[in-house]
Amino acid sequence: MFEIVPNLSEGRDAGTIQAAIAAVEAAGARVLNWSSDAVHHRSVLTIAGNESAVLDAAVALAGVALERIDLRSHSGVHPRIGALDVLPFVPLRGATLADAAALAHRAGAEIWQRYRVPSFYYGAAARTPERNLLPAIRSNADWMPDEGDVSRHRSAGAIAIGARDILIAFNIELGTTDLPAVRAIARTIRERDGGLRSLRALALPRGDDRVQVSLNVTDYAATPLYRVVELVRELAAERGIELLGCELIGCLPLAAVEATAAYYLGVTTL
């Protein structure tokens, strides 16, 4: 069993999301969860299935994105390089990270052959060390892709296809319009700037009354969610900013829920 968590650069057109879900189901995979955000202009699907089902679903999603999403007229606060922007493969039951990486490579090759949309491989699927991290791929617009002989498709851009272990994506909403202050909080907490292990963080505007800390936790055992939330709460309070709430994107392991619930309930076991 594998999981894929495709990120589509479309968060406003319900018809496109329904077409994506239908394509996944026609491929024999199961949509466990999906969420869309109009400000991010992005949708995230959590999909599970066996090797052939998730591979077919991934290729089908690239076709839906190519047909229905045009980056030349796209606007949204979330960084992106493609219509089907990110496509990670995650090993679940009876699968390894190496299996997921091999599947990611097969998907990239099939998408290029069928649709001529190029791909970059990251995470455990990366073919060079400098492409291991997704932010590096986003920030190096002059890199040629790992799959394909053009840097970008005219309307669909490129896809970052990866292999990784389970990741938790969630957001913390802060009651402020002070984007620089929230960017400082994100820099303080994220791993690459000396913060919490396995944590990635960005500050994104969310309208007229709030700014969001957008978070990825790549090792929830090393960095439990309650620790992230309480650290952000503390750093925000130092700046006179209120924490308004949190938002989960996609699914998360039961163990992560149990650890966080145990902390807030004040018990050692559940």
Report DSSP state, residue 143. Answer: P
Q: Residue 177, exposed/middle/buried by CB under 10 A (0-12, 13-18, 19+)?
A: middle
Strands 242-249, 2-4: pairing kind? unpaired
* Closest of 96, 157, 156, 143 to residue 124, by C-alpha: 96
Q: How many alpha carbons fall within 13 Å on the CB side of residue 68? A: 21
Q: Which of the following is catalytic: 41, 78, 105, 153? A: 78
* Closest of 223, 181, 224, 220 to residue 203, by C-alpha: 181
Indicate if 40 belongs to the active site: no
Structure tokens belonging to residue 122: 């990251």
- The secondary structure element, H or E, covering residue 57 is helix 51-68
Handedness of CA 108, 30, 75, 193 (dihedral sign): negative
Is 76 strand, coil or helix?
A: coil
Catalytic residues: 78
